[in-house]
Structure 1
């Protein structure tokens, strides 16, 4: 908790990193200075971000301000969800069991596999030519 009554946490997913601040409010979400609905246009991404509040029964009780960089929109939405979950716990430690049971505190470590030399992609071989 800081001087303004906010709780801070960092969320990560793929190559995206989200810095998230939450404070008691009316449920307004701001991402990179833009409105939540403008930044994440797809309904699935908005649903992903609101999941921690639903699991903790805290819908429309916290204002969220976050800055996200890196990755694509899907990874950024996952990073914001991870950051919101961690920030909720620093704000209200009693919510940890419900968020842990939902799997919101686990950092999803899946990322793109690197390309290897002698291969077309990470695992795909070059096309075989008999002649």
Structure 2
């Protein structure tokens, strides 16, 4: 009986130790850059970040030239603003596939992932904002015998 009491006390001591989550480490390459891939719809963005003046370059062009709409530029800046790091990192990315809206979403996703690799302590703020989740919605494919993905051909009685 004494042995069981002692073992139960030992188990109680194990229970009080709170399980810690996974530890995330800083991951940078030889040039001091963090790399991540972002995806949205059919667009794929490869994003590199490094400490700098806040310059964002997309496919060798400035963000103002590549994304002319202010809404898309604002969308890309969201992870930096949420983390409180706007103007502190230079962002270089190559993006392909999809349209401008999907490409902007892909750059945003990749930028958020690269930020977490460069500064793992920002993960909770970015996760709370929903920037680390890949938006899996894609265009539904057209089916055989249908006019579009779901729309049927017009019914004719005669």
TM above 0.5, yes or no, is: yes
Task: Return the match for 1:75 from 102, 106, 119.
Answer: 102
Supply the distance in 1 between the matched residues of 2:137 and 2:70 (Cα, whole angstroms). Answer: 23
Task: Return the match for 1:84 from 90, 111, 130.
Answer: 111
Cα RMSD (Å) of the superposition?
A: 0.3
TM-score, normalised by the number of residues in structure 2: 0.82
Q: Which residue of 2 aligns with 1:18?
A: 45
Alignment of 1:42 with 2:84, yes or no, is no
Q: Which residue of 2 aligns with 1:121?
A: 148
C-alpha deviations, 1:52-76, integer Å up to 9, x for none? 0010000100000000000000000
Q: Which residue of 1 aligns with 2:13?
A: none
Supply the distance in 2 between the matched residues of 1:125 and 1:47 (Cα, whole angstroms). Answer: 39
| Superposed structure 1 runs of 4+ greater than 3 Å apart | none
Name which one, 1 or 2, has greater alpha-carbon Rg. Answer: 2
Gaps spanning 5+ residues in structure 2: where? 1-27
